[in-house]
Amino acid sequence: MKELDMLVVGAGFAGIYQLYKAREAGLRVKVLEMGDGVGGTWFWNRYPGARCDVESLDYSYSFSRELEEEWEWSERYATQAEILRYINHVVDRFSLRPDIELNTKVVKAHFDEKANVWEVQTEAGEVYRARYLVMATGGLSVPQRPSLEGLDSFKGRWHHSARWPNEGVDFSGRKVVLIGTGSSGVQMVPVIAEQASHLTVLQRTANFSVPAHNVPFTPQALKAAKARYPERRAMGREAITGQFLNANTKTAAEMTEQEQMAELEYRWRGAGGGFRMLRTFADQMSNPETNRLVAEFARKKIHEIVKDPRKASILTPKDDLPFGGKRLSVDSNYYETFNKPHVDIVDVGAEPLVCATETGIRTTKQDIDCDDIVFATGFDALTGALKAIDLRGEGGLTIKEKWEQGPVSYLGLFISGFPNLFVVAGPGSPSVLSNMVHSIETHVDWIMRLLKHAQQHGVQRIGATQEAEDAWVQRCADEAAKTLYPKAKSWYMGDNIDGKPRLFMPFVAGVPLYRRIIEEVASNNYQGLQMS
């Protein structure tokens, strides 16, 4: 049995920064990580084409000016491999590795109410006791795959995007079927198409994807960007998603038709690109008329790019999907790839998957032969990782019971009935709607401030009150109801998992407001928390 002040679960961006800050504060701390390397998302998602769709200069730690200065990003949007190198560099630079236990899966965490500590057990049977338990388990870390009957009898290979083999997969000369057209599928299609002799993409729901306009950094461009780093970070902090996207502050109605088109074109083309498209108009995610303008513009672009009208029509999102309602994909040549004769798209919304066969996939209308099946079918988002653990709070209450109707929390950080437990960038916080690294730093800094306060006041147990949690859950629901997000069937709403309660899980009103709220809570003597 090992006694600690803090135990952190997960060695992704969140766990690593939590370790750094806890050590700086002099706590006895360990990180337990189930993978055999650090990096979280960037450790597991090694599929071809994987890269971050938040710009590298923003999707990186801001806590160390030296780190910012010395790390040289090679592209506007870094590849998975580069981000993994960066995380490993951070771990070594700050000598964090000795406090990270790899290949260590947490299976059980029970709160000991008498001692006010968490007792945590790993799959190998090791036991840790720690005053504080930090769940840095990631919002998209539990892969989801359809239970395809017959997959065992399939004679070829199959892989999931989030469990990609370390050594890579060679698709040269092979017939490939790829299932799923979210961000992972959209990134993989152009890259797999370069190798495969034939690629068939099975799409259930067409979603919007926008061009990334990724470019390599020239040394001059990187130098110039770094010179303005503090300014860039400050602008990011005040942007709704925690990264500067040059948001238009005007509603569509405040602009002429010509101005609207110019704004849309700017965001679609080279100077803009990526998530800038989500900030074309101030009322884009709240006003259906405005959203339709953007959606219509993107639909026309798809038809301009994809030459075959049949393929273009399948790839074009339907009228009932708000632009951005499902998480926007950011691509490099996704739609263009369908102009290649050996790349096809099948609408498995219209002709659903039936099963796998020995030689491929069967839909209700056809058999598609292939050598490889690639699942890009997503995750049990935001709640999956916590629910996978036998996590029990006061009175033996399990997290599954607590979250039966959906993930309730106070500030997305605390779960009432689970004292001394913190969730980093979890449901009820901006999390997946924001630049994750920024949100992680915000949470960890705030947690450390709270723990300093607790130490100064001899506090041993910190928990959210039921009233504070209820009010926060209501606030999150009210904010989501003002937007178009609930109109889409999406993983944000839990729609991709059978039986998952339908509610919008992140806090939607933006990073700056969220930060002000948690600041206010802290300066109001940690209102909503019980400390004893």
- Note the residues at the interface with ligand NAP (CB under 6 A): 51-53, 140, 146, 161, 179-185, 187, 204-205, 327, 348, 353, 376-379, 432, 491, 496
Tell me how far, at minimum, the Cβ of 374 lies from ligand NAP, in Å.
11
Cβ closest to ligand NAP, residue 325 vs residue 528: 325
Helix/strand/coil (H/E/C) assignment for every residue in 377-437? CCECCCCHHHHCCEEECHHHCEHHHHCCCCCCCECCCECCCCCCEEECCCCCCCHHHCCHH
Q: Which is nearer to ligand NAP, 368 or 521 (CB)?
A: 368
183/316 with CB nearer ligand NAP: 183
46 vs 443 by CB, closer to ligand NAP:
46
* 51-82 b/e (C-beta count within 10 Å ≥ 16 → b): bbbbbbbbbbbbeeeebbeebebebbbbbbeb
Q: How far is the CB of 431 from ligand NAP (least distance, A)?
A: 10
Task: Using alpha carbons, select from 37, 11, 26, 45 the residue that is nearest to residue 165.
Answer: 45
Dist. CA 301–CA 299, nearest whole Å: 5
Q: How far is the CB of 376 from ligand NAP (least distance, A)?
A: 5
DSSP track, 278-303: GGSSTTTTT-HHHHHHHHHHHHHHHH
Percentages (nearest 5) of helix, strand, coil residues in the chain: 35, 20, 45
Q: Tell me the closest approach of the beta carbon of residue 350 to ligand NAP, in angstroms.
A: 12
Which C-beta is closer to ligand NAP: that of 133 or that of 376? 376
CB of 183 to ligand NAP, least distance (A): 3
Cβ-proximal residue to ligand NAP, closest one: 182
Choice between 60 and 248, CB closer to ligand NAP: 60
Report in angstroms the alpha-carbon separations of 220 from 68, 69, 74, 83, 217.
16, 14, 12, 21, 8
State in angstroms the smallest separation of the CB of 496 from ligand NAP.
5
Radius of gyration of the CA atoms of the chain, in A? 23
486 neighbors 493 (Cβ within 8 angstroms): yes
In Å, how far are 12, 46, 162, 177 from 166, measured between CA atoms?
A: 17, 7, 11, 21
Query: CB 206 → ligand NAP: shortest distance, Å?
Result: 8
Residue with smaller CB distance to ligand NAP, 152 or 257: 152
**In whole angstroms, how close is the CB of 363 to ligand NAP at the nearest point?**
10
C-alpha span between 398 and 417 (Å, rounded): 10
Taking the complex as a whole, the smallest distance from the CB of residue 419 to ligand NAP amounts, in Å, to: 30
Three-class SS state of 531: strand
Of the two residues 184 and 383, which places its CB atom closer to ligand NAP in the complex?
184
Residue type, 81: A
Measured from the CB atom, the residue of 180 and 494 that comes closer to ligand NAP is 180
